[in-house]
Amino acid sequence: MGGMVTFYGKEFSSRLLIGSALYPSPAIMQQAIRAAGAQIVTVSLRRETAGGKVGSNFWSLIRELDVSVLPNTAGCRSVREAVTTAQLARELFGTNWIKLEVIGDDETLQPDVVGLVEAAITLIKDGFEVYPYCTEDLTVALRLRDAGCRVIMPWAAPIGSARGLINRDALKLLRTRLPDVTLVVDAGLGAPSHAADALELGYDAVLLNTAVAKAGDPVAMATAFRLAVEAGRTAYEAGLMGPRDFASPSTPVVGTPFWHAVS
Amino acid sequence: MHVVVNGRRTKTAAADLPALLRELEYEGEHMAIAVNSRVVPRARWGETALSAGDEIEVLTPRQGG
């Protein structure tokens, strides 16, 4: 199963954070989140039309799940937008947690890491507990840590691309250099094996949405990701053997029949 | 006067935020509001007077990744 994971002083048994978007129906969203065993669910905030109840209906579904919510600043393209959206999220959801996204490129949805660090500094001074969505760049991660981020969330690949850990060595380096930061692979995972890969590297958790929501059977896929995360973490804690350049027999050589029988 | 609510030019007689929300039939507890890009905490809605041209964002929870 793996031990507990800590997010800003709070302990959780689940290492799978999940998004609430893109599901075929609200009922399937609830079932998938439950099947994932997720204890932290990402949400957003959007404009409500006059007389509309879209937001309150959605919020009722989330509250039924009894999970911690992690609001995001998805869609923000400047520091000012991200900071204001975070402040609105705190007002709306009553939490200091914010998944900080400052998008720098519309084609790849790559984070604007310069703006991200600036926004993180501003928000931490304002009392927020920031979950920055960043690239796998070591220097950026170090700046975020120095700014006070105790959770850092590098992408595996662009959001919704389902490509898995395309720069595994850089992600491994982040784990090595930031041993005391809760590291979460966020975005780009497509298969449960990708999630297991991240956990086997020593990442504390993964955050995903599209891979489950857009699966043929989102509830079954949520289960598959839950099992993969548990397998990956258990393997990491068990201690994986290192790769070798040459073969090494697993069956004992001593006592092999006919060994040296011909002289 | 006219204000802008969620990007839409809107005619209103409301003097403050609670009056505007009533006029536009916004309901429910879970809303966050910004006026001219500044967050207005719920406790200050009643004391937030509106002026012509104000840009008001009324936001509620939504799905997110």
The long-range contacts involving A221-224, CB below 8 angstroms and separated by at least 24 positions, are A221/A32, A221/A192, A222/A18, A222/A31, A222/A32, A222/A33, A222/A35, A222/A36, A223/A35, A223/A36, A224/A192
* pLDDT tens readout for residues A75-96: 999 999 999 999 999 999 999 9
The answer on pLDDT for A7 being more than 70 is yes
Q: What is the pLDDT of residues A157-185, one digit of tens each?
A: 999 899 999 999 999 999 999 999 999 99
> Which positions 21-60 of B are in contact with A (Cβ < 8 Å)?
24-34, 37-39, 41-42, 57-60
pLDDT at residue A63, rounded to an integer:
96
Residues of A with CB under 8 A from a CB of B: 19-23, 29, 42-56, 58-59, 62, 71-72, 74, 80, 84, 87-89, 91-93, 159, 209-210
Chain B residue with minimum CA distance to A210:
B65
User: Cβ of A43 and B64 within 8 Å?
Assistant: yes
Q: Give CA–CA dist A118/A122, Å, rounded.
A: 6
Optimal mutation site among B30, B36, B37, interface A, most CBs of chain A within 10 A: B30
Confirm if A213 and A32 have CB atoms less than 8 A apart. yes
A105: exposed, middle or buried (Cβ count in 10 Å: 0-12, 13-18, 19+): exposed
pLDDT in tens, A93-122: 999 999 999 999 999 999 999 999 999 999
Cβ count within 10 A of residue A161: 17
pLDDT at A261 over 70: no
Å between B62 CA and nearest CA of chain A = 5
User: Above 80 in pLDDT, residue A144?
Assistant: yes
How confident is residue B28, by pLDDT bands cut at 50, 70 and 90? confident
| pLDDT of residue A263 exceeding 80 | no
CA distance B3 to chain A (A): 14
Strand partners for B60: A46
Distances (CA, A) of A194 to A44, A187, A203: 25, 11, 12
Interior/surface letters A216-241, b for 16+ CB within 10 angstroms, e for the rest: eebbebbbbbbebbbbbbeebeeeee
Residue from the list A74, A84, A87 with its beta carbon closest to the beta carbon of B64 = A74
- The CA distance from A47 to A60, in Å, is 17
> Which of B22, B26, B59 should we substitute to test contact with A (largest number of A Cβ atoms within 10 Å)?
B59
User: What ipTM was reported for this prediction?
Assistant: 0.94
**Which amino acid, A105?**
D
Query: What is the average per-residue pLDDT within A18-45?
Result: 98
Least CB-CB distance to A46: which of B25, B39, B62?
B62
- Is A53 an annotated catalytic residue? no
How far apart, in whole angstroms, are the C-alpha atoms of residue A12 and residue A207?
14
Q: How confident is the model at residue B27 (pLDDT cuts 50, 70, 90)?
A: confident
CA distance to partner chain B, nearest, from residue A58 (Å): 6
Tell me the shortest Cα–Cα distance from B52 to chain A, in angstroms: 19
Interval A220-242 mean pLDDT: 97
pLDDT at A1 over 60: no
At residue A211, the pLDDT reads 96
Q: Is the pLDDT of residue B29 over 90?
A: no
DSSP code of residue A10: E
| B57 Cβ neighbours under 8 A, 6+ residues apart | A47, A88, B6, B33, B34, B35
**B63 touches A at CB < 8 Å:** yes
Q: Which among A80, A88, A70, A195 has a CA at the least distance from the CA of A130? A: A70
